[in-house]
Structure 1
Amino acid sequence: MRYWQEYLRDINMDEILNMQINDMAKVEFECSCGRKHFLDIDKIVMGQGVISRLPEILSDYVKEKIYILYDQNTYRAAGRKVKEVLEDADFQVKCTVLDSGDQILIPDEKAVGKMFMELEAGTGMIVAVGSGTLNDMAKYMSSRTKIPYTIVCTAPSMDGYASSGAPLMNGGRKISYTATLAYAIVGDTDVMKEAPMRMILAGYGDIIGKLTCLADWRLSHELTGEYYCETIVKLVQKAIQKVVDHRKGLEQRQEEAVRYLIEALTLTGVAMGLAGNSRPASGAEHMLSHYWEMKVIARGENPELHGIKVGIATPVIAEVFDEMQDLFPESVKEMAPSADQIKTLMKEAGAPIKPQEAGLDKDLFYRGILEGNTVRDRFSILDLAVKENRIERIARKITDEYYQE
């Protein structure tokens, strides 16, 4: 539990399913799953123009140093405004630009080292301005220094804003470190709707990936007895539905569609916090994405956005479910979407579904399906396929479908 926690708000189980995302900070409730869930995030602020509210959001830290982190891209998107808003309100700020030049920012030893080396003594709050990488780096630093952090979201591109895991590169391998939850999550839709379309579609792919992820969780519950929470599942499903219902508005950067997307991404992070692990948001589709990413980085190449790869991996995993459905109970069949359903949802939002669109060659794609279950020690549909000696046949069949001569 974080050292800066002050209080939690008791609610009943039914309330959580009808709450708006901005009201979910500091909630606590007894659940039908037998556990008491709580979310140790102090403030969640989503909506138009909310960056202007940063002095109010960080009012408890006005007399302390604020360490602002951004890269050259997120500085232009929102970092300059964050700096100006806080300085105008008499906050003392120190800024660090994690400049990666023409390359994407990789959260490796060099970038993390620079971040730590420029941290000044007496800092009271870390403010990261960015999305996946900067959020992961800031939460890692927060957990090691015991300094709380706030994330100002610049793109609705991934679901880690409200999660406590921090995937970083160490020795060429992607390792998910246990970190900490944010003090505050600030999502300004005026900023996020202007994010590169590829990042918006990455967020959409990440959300669509929850459809196979939840089926994976149910599968593990049925076959291994792993803990499972129906309330958390319903919470995630409700968020997914809002995004799916507004999917065609994403390409037009409609404010409502973007707002539902960032709310869903944040809410799935909340679900991870409530569950105490990433089960509500990460299944075999994420294992494929992580596998491909590690291999691409090991080659010295820039990886595609995580959510884009998740979106591409999701119909692949849905097809694995299709191929294995004779081996699992009806409850899993009811949750698992078909590959065709997933492809339709992706196409209608303008999101990529072909591995070639993410720069994945045939062998890497095939090896990912074959070996993706080794990425994490967590039971998934891939493990069942391995156990039943079907994985090679399924991997070859799916690969041939995507890479027809």
Structure 2
Amino acid sequence: MNEILKMSMNEMAEADFDCSCGRHHSLSIKKIAIGKGVIQQLPDIAAEFKGKQLYMISDNNTWKAAGEQAFKILSDSNFEVKSHQFETGTEILIPDELAMGRMLLEMPLGTALIVAVGSGTLNDMAKYLSSRTGIPYIIVCTAPSMDGYVADGAPLICNGRKISYVATLAYGVVGDTDIMKQAPMHMIHAGLGDVLGKLTALTDWSLAVAMIDEYRCETCVKLVEEALRKCIEFAPALKERNEEAILYLIEALTLTGVTMAIVGVSRPASGSEHLLSHYWEMDFIARHKYPELHGVKVGIATPIVAEIYQLLDDELPPETKALAPQREVVEALLESAGAMISPKEVGIDRDLFYRSLMEANTVRKRYSVFQYAKDKGRLEEIAGIITERIYGK
């Protein structure tokens, strides 16, 4: 029982066990390879599909980062691979109806395996395509920027709104630290922001347990807490692209993805900080502006949510109060890695910020500290205090 707590990250593929939470957990991912030089394992990971059609997707940036290398490794091992690269220029790839349609149009007949080379957007697009076609996919990670590599949700843009579609888990995950440590520092900062968001996500989960008796798996909580501990310890070394720090970052991101997969909900990794990030992103997209990276926004949102908990300190259930992080601590961790901490730095004006605090609880049907503050009649007061601290009177 709970033998997953003793496993290394790469041993967790196809985990299957009875948990102390009373449920049976399993992970359908067949292969996980995270570490130095693991891109060379691609032919072994894809061995089941030898002699069949492979379809590789990337963009012009991820092709240079790892796509060209992955294509050569597979081609040299006599795999049949068709590659499609999205040309994004200086802009970012938006996972909307146009991009999804183009990806489907380029897919050759008889495709047996999709190989996505990228991070958040390309991974989400690949897993959605995989879920709708029944064709498995492998993700070759190019940046330690988010936790969705082993999650089954696919946040996509449909009709201008960000919608998290139920998708599928990857067949295999390849996270080569030699590649990921060369990622743009902005994307490394995004990964750190996404990891630190687990501090408030776990607090929200505790609050939901106390207030509405929501199910929680303590094994998943322990896995996330251990991943957080290692990543936080090495956070200052990220700005130097320290290989050990990058390894702990991608392991933390992957591990929180594993917990989401085995527990069947995103609670271990996503809370009020994600509601804020999604609200900001939808506003930007509605105004035809490119939003900041998801993890960067989550990182900025996390100390704000921590501050909400601090302002509610005297009213919190004891177990939730014990978990709640301090705003100053979270901001110090972000600053130690050189990451942004203010919503003003990513173009969020006072009006949008205030509205997001007042309306974030409407983004998803999920109990959160926003709902708790609203039920206590304190949301408007708290929104005013935090807005004034950041933007002035």
Equivalent residue runs for 1:72-151 within 5 Å: 72-151=60-139
Secondary structure at the residue paired with 1:152? Answer: strand
> How far apart, CA to CA, are the structure 2 residues paired with 1:396 and 1:198?
30
Displacement after TM superposition at 1:100 (Å): 2.1
Matched residue pairs, number? 393
Unpaired stretches in structure 2, ≥5 consecutive residues: none
Equivalent residue runs for 1:27-46 within 5 Å: 27-46=15-34
Partner of 2:242: 254
TM-score, normalised with respect to structure 1: 0.96
Equivalent residue runs for 1:1-400 within 5 Å: 12-13=1-2, 15-400=3-388
4+ residue segments displaced more than 6 Å: none
Displacement after TM superposition at 1:172 (Å): 0.1
> How far apart, CA to CA, are the structure 2 residues paired with 1:44 and 1:389?
46
Deviations 1:91-138 (A, max 9, x none): 001111122222100000000000011111110000000000000000
Displacement after TM superposition at 1:259 (Å): 0.5
Displacement after TM superposition at 1:18 (Å): 2.4
Displacement after TM superposition at 1:352 (Å): 0.9
Secondary structure at the residue paired with 1:125? Answer: strand
> How far apart, CA to CA, are the structure 1 residues paired with 2:313 and 2:370?
12
Question: Percent same amino acid at aligned positions?
Answer: 55
> How far apart, CA to CA, are the structure 1 residues paired with 2:233 and 2:190?
17
Deviations 1:125-180 (A, max 9, x none): 00000000000000000000000000000000000000000000000000000000
> How far apart, CA to CA, are the structure 2 residues paired with 1:110 and 1:161?
23
Deviations 1:256-275 (A, max 9, x none): 00011001100000000111
Q: Which amino acid aligns with 2:316?
A: F
Secondary structure at the residue paired with 1:251? Answer: helix
Q: Which amino acid aligns with 2:197?
A: G
Q: Which amino acid aligns with 2:100?
A: V
Q: Which amino acid aligns with 1:347?
A: E
How large is the RMSD of aligned CA atoms in angstroms?
0.8
Unpaired stretches in structure 1, ≥5 consecutive residues: 1-11
Deviations 1:29-67 (A, max 9, x none): 111111011111000001111111111111111111110
Displacement after TM superposition at 1:245 (Å): 0.7
Displacement after TM superposition at 1:28 (Å): 1.0
> How far apart, CA to CA, are the structure 1 residues paired with 2:107 and 2:375?
48
TM-score, normalised with respect to structure 2: 0.99
> How far apart, CA to CA, are the structure 1 residues paired with 2:188 and 2:252?
13
> How far apart, CA to CA, are the structure 2 residues paired with 1:274 and 1:107?
26
Displacement after TM superposition at 1:392 (Å): 1.0
